């Protein structure tokens, strides 16, 4: 698990409960995405609309419980963003 993935997870965890919901991912990427990308914490090409954010959520939700754990999230973003 990369430090970048952990940092991104924490930035997207708006309610700081240790999990991400679909709405949290969509909302956080919309609100914080450009700032995170400018800081180097998210690839610019990863910025997308709600549909792209939802697709990222679906790819990461391996057990289908509608919430992402840190482990589920980092496994996908490390691979997708080349951080792993």
DSSP state of 16: -
Helices (H) and strands (E) in the chain, counts: 4, 2
Query: Average of pLDDT values for 40-45?
Result: 94
Strand ranges in 1-84 using DSSP code E only, listed in sequence order: 20-21, 67-68
Question: What's the CA gap between 25 and 55, in Å, rounded?
Answer: 10
| Residues in Cβ contact with 59 at an 8 Å cutoff, skipping those fewer than 6 apart | 76, 80
Query: Average of pLDDT values for 23-47?
Result: 95
Measure the N-to-C terminal CA separation of the chain; round to a whole number of Å: 7
Query: Each residue of 49-67: pLDDT tens digit?
Result: 999 999 999 999 999 999 9
Residue 25 has pLDDT above 90, yes or no: yes
Residue 16 has pLDDT above 90, yes or no: yes
pLDDT at residue 84 in the model: 80
Average pLDDT in the chain: 95
């Amino acid at each position: 698990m990369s430090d970048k993935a952990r940092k991104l997870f924490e930035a997207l965890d708006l309610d700081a409960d240790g999990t991400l919901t679909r709405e949290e991912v969509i909302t956080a990427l919309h609100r914080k995405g450009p700032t995170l990308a400018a800081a180097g914490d998210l690839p610019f090409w990863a910025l997308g609309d709600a549909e792209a954010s939802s697709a990222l959520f679906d790819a990461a939700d391996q057990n289908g419980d509608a919430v992402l754990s840190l482990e589920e999230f980092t496994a996908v973003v490390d691979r997708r963003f080349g951080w792993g």
